[in-house]
Amino acid sequence: MKIIAIQSSPKRKNSNTLKLVEAALEGAREAGAETELIDITRLKINFCKGCVTCYRDGTCHQKDDYNALKKKILEADGIILSSPNYIDNITAQLKVFFDRSANFIHEQLLDGKYGLSITTSGSGNNDFVLGIMNHFINATGGLAVGSVGCGMGQGPAAFESGIKKSRESGKELARAIKEKRAYPDQAAAHRDWKEHFAMTLRRNKDNWKHNYECWVEKGWIKA
Ligand SMILES: Cc1cc2nc3c(=O)[nH]c(=O)nc-3n(C[C@H](O)[C@H](O)[C@H](O)COP(=O)(O)O)c2cc1C
Q: Is 8 in the pocket of ligand 1 (CB under 6 A)?
A: no
* N- to C-terminal Cα separation, the chain: 34
CB of 90 within 6 A of ligand 1: the answer is no
Task: Enumerate domains of the chain plus CATH numbers.
Answer: 2-182 (3.40.50.360)
**Closest Cα to atom 3, ligand 1: which residue?**
86
Look at ligand 1, atom 31, and give the residue with the nearest C-alpha: 86
* CA angle in degrees (0–180, nearest 5) for 95-107-66: 40
Rounded to an integer, what distance in angstroms lies between the CA atom of residue 158 and that of residue 150?
7
Residue 72 Cα to ligand 1 midpoint, Å, equals 28
pLDDT of the residue at 223: 86
CB 3 within 8 A of CB 79: yes
Say if residues 31 and 171 touch (Cβ distance below 8 Å): yes
Q: What's the gap in Å between 150 CA and the centre of ligand 1?
A: 11
Contact between residue 82 and residue 8 where contact means Cβ atoms under 8 Å apart: yes
Q: pTM for the whole thing?
A: 0.98
- For residues 181-199, give the mean pLDDT: 98
Q: CA–CA distance from 206 to each of 41, 58, 103, 199, 209 (Å)? A: 37, 14, 16, 13, 6
* Rounded-to-5 percentages of helix, strand, coil across the chain: 55, 15, 30
Query: 48 in ligand 1 pocket by Cβ < 6 Å?
Result: no
Beta-bridge partners for 117:
81, 147
pLDDT, residue 102, reads 98
Question: What mean pLDDT, rounded, does the chain reach?
Answer: 98
What residues contact 19, with CB distance under 8 A and at least 6 apart?
A: 159, 163
* Ligand 1 pocket member 12 (CB < 6 A): no
Q: Is the CB of 89 under 6 A from ligand 1?
A: no
- pLDDT, one tens digit per residue, over 2-57 is 999 999 999 999 999 999 999 999 999 999 999 999 999 999 999 999 999 999 99
Q: Is 93 in the pocket of ligand 1 (CB under 6 A)?
A: no
Is the distance from CB of 126 to CB of 135 less than 8 angstroms?
no
Distance of alpha carbon 6 from alpha carbon 119, whole angstroms: 12
Ligand 1 atom closest to the Cα of residue 125 is 11
pLDDT at 96 over 90: yes
Nearest CA to ligand 1 atom 2: 86
